Amino acid sequence: MVSYFDLIAVVILPSATFGIGMLYQEKKTKKNNMREKASSINEKTISMLKNKINELAVHISGKTFIEYNDHQSKPVLKLVPNYFIDATKHSDIFRIKSNEITLVYKEDKILKECMSVVLPELNYYYTCTCKLETVINSVFSSKPPNSFIQGLKEIYIKKYGIQKTHDLRLNEKDLFALYFLSMTGSTNAYKSGTSFVIDLLSTHFDDLQSLAFNNLETKDNAVEIKHEIMLIVATLNDAHYQLQELHERWQNKYIF
């Protein structure tokens, strides 16, 4: 006759051991899958987003975020509103809805936590650049006010002296280039215009921008452009910090 303890040893213990082994294997498989998914997202998507942010940061710090030269019919804004939307629209972890990037892959807790900060920043970038684009287009469609032109002549006197200023005959393109670039601050993008404009921008840009900010007819737009640029810089910095934080937290957990 089989005893109770024999029954445990022969039937129950092996079944329990098998069940525990299955649970352990399932847990291990799930962790491996999470690790592989995290590694793939980190390599493809997170690295791409950090590189995109760095590209924008270079344009802002180098004052090349607006491309404008004599041969162009209108300026080209490098801080494109759809920049991150276009970069993420084919990703399988994001979804684009009403010009907002949302996270659809939510199995990874670390990713979910970090993206709860990153995505609002990237979506706010869209808002700021739309405003920036509107103001820049407004400036581009306007004309330099007479008070700005008078201030420009005073800057010219400071650089060349009063006698040469009497001979100053700025053509419309040169005058508008100085006006537009001093308003926007993207001076280093102007490389194929006249040497006079390039020289004045490189040697007296602070005076030119001071003129734009202190002139009653140009101040509002100049301040708004600078404000939106500052917001964009803060947004990009916060997003990049969180992306790096995500990488480090994944590195500590999964050891890529």
Burial 81-99 (b: 16+ CB within 10 A, else e): bebbbebbeebebbebeee
3-state SS string for 99-153: CEEEECCCCCHHHHHHHHHHHHHHHHHHHHHHHHHHHHHHHHCCCCCHHHHHHHH
Domain carrying residue 188? 34-256
pLDDT band at 45 (very low <50, low <70, confident <90, very high): very high
Which among 93, 126, 125 is positioned nearest to 107, based on CA atoms? 93
Please, are residues 156 and 133 in contact by the beta-carbon 8 Å criterion?
no
Q: How much is the pLDDT for 215? A: 86
Say if 11 falls within a structural domain. no
Structural contact between residues 104 and 95, judged by C-beta atoms closer than 8 angstroms: yes
Give the pair of three-digit tokens for residue 117.
């900060």
Distance CA 131, CA 141 (A): 16
The reply to whether 6 falls in a domain is no
Q: Evaluate if residue 240 carries a pLDDT over 90.
A: yes
Amino acid letter, residue 134: T
3-state secondary structure of 239: helix
Q: Where is mean pLDDT largest: 71-80, 137-146, 235-244? A: 235-244
Is 22 within the bounds of a domain?
A: no
Residue of higher predicted confidence among 163 and 187? 187
* Six-digit token string for 45: 């998507």
Task: Please report whether residue 180 resides in a domain.
Answer: yes
pLDDT, residue 160, reads 76
Residue 161 has what pLDDT?
73
Is position 14 within any domain? no
Does 230 reside within a domain?
A: yes
What pLDDT, on the 0 to 100 scale, is given for residue 153? 83
- Higher model confidence: residue 18 or residue 116? 116
Tally the domains of the chain. Answer: 1
pLDDT digit string (tens) for 65-77? 998 887 778 899 9
Would residue 135 count as lying in a domain?
Answer: yes
Residue 4 in domain: no
Residue 167: its pLDDT value, please?
A: 57
